[in-house]
Amino acid sequence: MDPVTMKGSQILLECLQREGVDVLFGYPGGALTDVYDELSRSPLRHILVRHEQAGVHAADGYARATGRVGVCLFTSGPGATNTITGIATAYADSIPMVILTGQVPTLLIGNDAFQEVDIVGITRPCTKHNYLVKNVKDLTLILRQAFFLARSGRPGPVLVDLPKDVLQGHTEFVWPEEIRMRSYNPTYRPNLNQLRRAAGALIAARKPLFLTGGGVIMSDAAGELRTLARTLHVPVTSSLMGLGAFPGDDPLWIGMVGMHGTFTANTAMHNTDLLVAVGVRFDDRVTGRVADFAPNAAIVHIDIDPTSIRKNVAVDIPVVGDCKRALAGLLEILSPRLAEKDWHFAHGDWLAAVAGWNAMHPLSYDTGEEIKPQEVIRAVCEITKGKAIIATEVGQNQMWAAQFYTFREPRTLLTSGGLGTMGYGFPAAIGAQLGLPDALVIDFAGDASIQMNIQELATAVANRLPVKIIILNNMYLGMVRQMQELFYNRNYNSTNMESQPDFVKLAEAYGAQGYRITKRDKLEPVLRAALASPDTAVIDVHIAREENVYPMVPSGASLEEMLLI
């Protein structure tokens, strides 16, 4: 077929479709008028958000829930700068995303033109890669590379800046079927010798432990992980980002590790003789004081990104490669040797120690007259049978959700792990709901976090998205208040949020349903009614104001030095 001449804005939308995009989140402006004109004739679904930051989080939530590349589109200048927190959030958690920004015409770049900002310069440290398209002839190849980079290797956000004259220019449309980039060759296939060493260590270990992270979910390796752990009878813990990769109701599951990890996971980390870490990057929230992290263990680290290996902790057996392939490779190497031992028996003492720690300090909380946040999470878990997609905001709400909801499947938790971005959860839930229209999507929110992107109630209502926001309302910046209580002599400076709006009225003002729960006997029935409603709903649950998240490892302490209830 002869190549056809197309306009830049048309080429952009054609490329998005060919990359498999079905929905994009955006907000228009002067630099994008050609694209928005074109969009009205395109089968692509465009979701008009109410703030650019939320648009990026929505694309991020879509990506986390579906495993596809999230796409968003914003205008130049302030539209572009409003995206930064969203981009940094996605970068910290390695989320595949393409961010498209309008730019002033190439001739005006560098002139301090109206709504000009150097977004490529600004986002360089928080994108996997970024591009300024200088000629319409380069547009297709750059977009193709942007998607390729976003979804391959260690995924991440890629930004493409689109000057107005590029979008208005014309050129022949040529689609490169294959995409290859010199100097960018992620290693998917792990080195066989390293895998053999890891397998040997697993066979020999007496107290092995799996630590899994977001990489397991991202590389779709949950199946291999489950088979390996269950075959060898190895307990499994994970970082916040790894929740859901291993079923939370499996007897080998010992809960999350780290600052708010379980007693069992943190104690097991201290005692294990072989830590097999898969798709994790050893964040300080996971390791505690690095000098005392897993002091008795040899460490196997499997990761697609060679730069994350030995970045934070010393590793004995590094395995660079795709987590799925690496775990499948381990299974293959081990399979002829599996009959050598009764693995349950071989790890019997270790499993008994783990069971003992579980019995000694299970996750728990005191009940009283007031509603406790943990019982709200447990009730929701019960009602949804653990089958909902859970987004969280940041703070205590996030940690309680991580601790008390039983995540059974990958991609069921959407949370800002690396950056800890308040205001992430609700727009991420909107993105997830658009990607998975039949899912029940719930955002566990704090009373403060929810106000950071509350305007997206308009987006949810306008698009009839039945997202549910459950506010664990303590009228505090609870996580900061907890630190003030424990480490600053209860000096609650600037954390009291008693002057919150009436969340029920606020929901209603946007055309959503509002519910309020202040008494325990109303908790279950109102939650049931609200979760069954076909509408966008806000459920404002008044909880015990000064409830804390435990266990807690103080910042800079070792995982052993937990504060318990």
Ligand X SMILES: Cc1ncc(C[n+]2csc(CCOP(=O)(O)OP(=O)(O)O)c2C)c(N)n1
- Near ligand X by CB under 6 A, which window of 134-142, 150-158, 317-325, 392-400? 392-400
In sign, the C-alpha dihedral spanning 136, 14, 129, 303 is negative
Given the residues 14, 19, 38, 52, the one annotated as active site:
52
Select from Mg ion, ligand X, none the partner in contact with residue 394, using the beta carbon and a kind-dependent cut-off of 5 to 8 Å: ligand X
Residue 393 contacts ligand X per CB under 6 A: yes
Question: Closest approach of Cβ 485 to Mg ion, in Å?
Answer: 14
- Near ligand X by CB under 6 A, which window of 43-51, 69-77, 248-256, 476-484? 476-484
* Catalytic residue flag (residue 324): no
Select from Mg ion, ligand X, none the partner in contact with residue 420, using the beta carbon and a kind-dependent cut-off of 5 to 8 Å: ligand X
Q: Which of 384, 474, 482, 558 binds Mg ion (CB under 5 A)?
A: 474
Given the residues 114, 311, 345, 487, the one annotated as active site:
114
Q: Find residue 245's DSSP bridge partners.
A: none
Q: Say if residue 273 is exposed, middle or buried (CB neighbours under 10 Å; 0-12, 13-18, 19+).
A: middle
DSSP secondary-structure letter at 228?
Answer: H
Helix (H) or strand (E) holding 472: strand 468-473
Rounded CA separation 176/400 (Å)? 48
- DSSP strand E in 88-177: where? 97-103, 129-132, 157-163, 170-172
Residue 288 contacts Mg ion per CB under 5 A: no
Question: Which is closer to ligand X, CB of 28 or CB of 261?
Answer: 261
Given the residues 115, 168, 455, 484, the one annotated as active site:
115
Question: Which is closer to ligand X, CB of 25 or CB of 476?
Answer: 476
Question: Which is closer to ligand X, CB of 161 or CB of 393?
Answer: 393
Amino acid at 559: L
By rule CB under 6 A, what count of residues binds ligand X? 19
* Catalytic residue flag (residue 74): no
- Give residues with Cβ within 8 angstroms of 538, minimum separation 6: 457, 469, 471, 503, 504, 506, 507, 512, 513, 514, 515
Rounded CA separation 101/54 (Å)? 15
Q: Say if residue 244 is exposed, middle or buried (CB neighbours under 10 Å; 0-12, 13-18, 19+).
A: buried
- DSSP strand E in 65-168: where? 70-74, 97-103, 129-132, 157-163
Question: Which is closer to ligand X, CB of 163 or CB of 418?
Answer: 418
- Give residues with Cβ within 8 angstroms of 310, minimum separation 6: 301, 318
By rule CB under 5 A, what count of residues binds Mg ion? 5
Question: Closest approach of Cβ 480 to Mg ion, in Å?
Answer: 9
DSSP secondary-structure letter at 424?
Answer: -
Q: Which of 478, 482, 513, 538 binds Mg ion (CB under 5 A)?
A: 478
* Catalytic residue flag (residue 164): yes
CA nearest to 549, candidates 479, 448, 450? 479
Select from Mg ion, ligand X, none the partner in contact with residue 439, using the beta carbon and a kind-dependent cut-off of 5 to 8 Å: none
Amino acid at 102: G
Question: Closest approach of Cβ 159 to ligand X, in Å?
Answer: 21
Select from ligand X, Mg ion, none the partner in contact with residue 406, using the beta carbon and a kind-dependent cut-off of 5 to 8 Å: none
Compute CA distances 41 → 20, 36, 98, 434, whole Å: 17, 9, 22, 20
* Catalytic residue flag (residue 181): no
- Helices and strands, counts by H and E, the chain: 23, 20
CB 135, CB 168: distance < 8 Å? no
Question: Which is closer to ligand X, CB of 279 or CB of 446?
Answer: 446
DSSP secondary-structure letter at 69?
Answer: P
Select from Mg ion, ligand X, none the partner in contact with residue 554, using the beta carbon and a kind-dependent cut-off of 5 to 8 Å: none
Burial 429-445 (b: 16+ CB within 10 A, else e): bbbbbbbeeebbbbbbb
What backbone torsions phi and psi does residue 46 show, to the nearest 5 degrees?
A: -105, 125
Residue 415 contacts ligand X per CB under 6 A: no
Question: Closest approach of Cβ 398 to Mg ion, in Å?
Answer: 11
Question: Closest approach of Cβ 85 to ligand X, in Å?
Answer: 7
Question: Closest approach of Cβ 439 to ligand X, in Å?
Answer: 24
CA nearest to 380, candidates 255, 502, 472? 472
Residue 421 contacts ligand X per CB under 6 A: yes
- Near Mg ion by CB under 5 A, which window of 65-73, 353-361, 410-418, 473-481? 473-481
Residue 423 contacts Mg ion per CB under 5 A: no
Select from Mg ion, ligand X, none the partner in contact with residue 236, using the beta carbon and a kind-dependent cut-off of 5 to 8 Å: none
The tokens of 505 are what? 């009225």
446-465 residues in contact with ligand X (CB under 6 A) are 446-449
Given the residues 53, 116, 147, 164, the one annotated as active site:
164
**Which residue number is nearest to ligand X in terms of Cβ?**
446
- Near Mg ion by CB under 5 A, which window of 97-105, 326-334, 438-446, 527-535? 438-446
Q: Which of 74, 253, 293, 476 binds ligand X (CB under 6 A)?
A: 476
* Catalytic residue flag (residue 479): yes
- Near Mg ion by CB under 5 A, which window of 109-117, 211-219, 307-315, 471-479? 471-479
Q: Which of 10, 237, 397, 536 binds ligand X (CB under 6 A)?
A: 397
Active site residues: 52, 114-115, 164, 479
Contacting residues toward ligand X, per CB under 6 A: 393-397, 420-422, 446-449, 472, 474, 476-480
Contacting residues toward Mg ion, per CB under 5 A: 446-447, 474, 476, 478
